[in-house]
């Protein structure tokens, strides 16, 4: 059976880039036949987050976001990483057979060093914990972006080192890269890549006056509506492309290209974008409000998922312990 494993760090409110770049694909993947494990990577978050209450809030926000957007805990094992301690036990076992050279070659580690981030042991051994996350559940397929493929390859190496030393214990996973046409390029309000660090994002659940204000900040120019424009150079059309069907989007693009009396002004495009965002996320906003009013239900869902995850991870841990001599 195919077993999928996905995880995401809790980093606060999720924006459109997070949604169209990952969340939408994660939720759609639950329709694919197989087992699905999805975890909130709060252990990993400790390499960057030092505020305890902020971390707890980020975990709640991420859980509510995914559930509101349609993640079904009946079809997906949804849990907090830190609720499965067996993962840390497997991390140590993998660390004992993994050379430092492999970890030193990690792109993410080298990138952080280049940015002047002070390295911690946790940051250096991050790939080992990630490997344990994957191997604990006998994952066969790990959906990742191209920038994360190396982590899956390192997991393959670590599993291979352990299996070569102690026998066939771990399932060797493979990376599954989403089809290019299913990925959407999401610009920020300023035209650069949407990013929390740039402050140019649009929160998934923004609504009302706040939504209007944020969309009002999308970069435009001073050209009048009647002036013909290259639609590829109109940032608002890039945003609309995320929500509209091909036919309607084509009509808006052609009107912008043609110019004249029937051409839409930037205000018209912003108004249509607000409508489109409301149409797309309206039901999820309501579901989010329901979840926030009953956080006990959210906690129950996470704990129920953790029970299922611990059962699988414990079986893998026990298998690994017996192989290396820690059990009879």
Query: For residue 145, which of 179, 121, 104, 196 has the smallest C-alpha distance?
Result: 179
Q: What order do you get walking across the sheet with 77-80 strand by strand?
A: 77-80, 35-40, 3-8, 141-143, 174-176
Instruction: Choose the catalytic residue: 112, 115, 146, 185.
Output: 112
Q: Phi and psi (nearest 5°) for 141? A: -130, 130
Instruction: Give the span between the Cα atoms of 162 and 152, in whole angstroms.
Output: 15
Please tell me what DSSP assigns to residue 198.
G
Given the residues 110, 193, 209, 212, the one annotated as active site: 193
Catalytic: which of 196, 209, 213, 229? Answer: 196
Residue appearing with tokens 């018209």 = 268
Q: Write out the DSSP string of 20-42.
A: IIIIHHHHHGGGSSSEEEEEE-H
Nearest to 309 by CA among 136, 161, 165, 159: 136
Is 196 an annotated catalytic residue?
yes
Bridge partners of 5, per DSSP, are: 37
Residues 6 or more apart whose CB falls under 8 angstroms from that of 115 comprise none
Q: Catalytic residues, which ones?
A: 112, 193, 196
């Amino acid at each position: 059976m195919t077993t999928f494993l996905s995880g995401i760090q809790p980093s606060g409110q999720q924006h459109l880039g997070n949604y169209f770049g990952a969340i939408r694909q994660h939720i759609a993947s639950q329709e694919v036949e197989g087992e699905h494990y999805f975890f909130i990577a709060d252990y990993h978050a400790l390499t960057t987050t030092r505020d305890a209450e902020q971390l707890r809030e980020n975990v709640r926000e991420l859980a509510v976001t995914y559930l509101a957007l349609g993640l079904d805990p009946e079809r997906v094992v949804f849990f907090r990483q830190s609720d499965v301690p067996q993962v840390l036990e497997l991390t140590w076992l993998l660390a004992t057979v993994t050379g430092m050279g492999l970890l030193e070659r990690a792109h993410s580690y080298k990138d952080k060093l280049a940015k002047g981030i002070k390295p911690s042991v946790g940051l250096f051994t991050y790939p080992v914990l990630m490997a344990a996350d994957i191997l604990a559940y006998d994952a066969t397929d790990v959906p990742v972006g191209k920038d994360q493929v190396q982590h899956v390859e390192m997991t393959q190496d670590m599993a291979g080192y352990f299996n070569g030393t102690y026998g066939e214990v771990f399932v060797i996973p493979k990376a599954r890269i989403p089809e290019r046409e299913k990925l959407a390029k999401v610009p920020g309000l300023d035209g650069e890549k949407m990013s929390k660090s740039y402050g140019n994002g649009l929160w998934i659940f923004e609504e009302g006056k706040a939504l209007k204000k944020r969309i009002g900040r999308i970069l435009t120019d001073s050209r009048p509506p009647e002036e013909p424009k290259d639609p590829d150079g109109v940032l608002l059309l890039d945003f609309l492309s995320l929500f509209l069907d091909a036919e309607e989007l084509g009509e808006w693009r052609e009107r912008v290209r043609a110019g004249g009396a029937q051409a839409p002004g930037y205000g018209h495009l912003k108004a249509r974008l607000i409508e489109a965002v409301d149409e797309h996320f309206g039901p999820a906003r309501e579901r989010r409000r329901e979840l926030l009013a009953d956080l006990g239900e959210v906690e129950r869902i996470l704990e129920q998922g953790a029970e299922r995850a611990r059962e699988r991870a414990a079986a893998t841990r026990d298998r690994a312990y017996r192989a290396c001599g820690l059990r009879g």
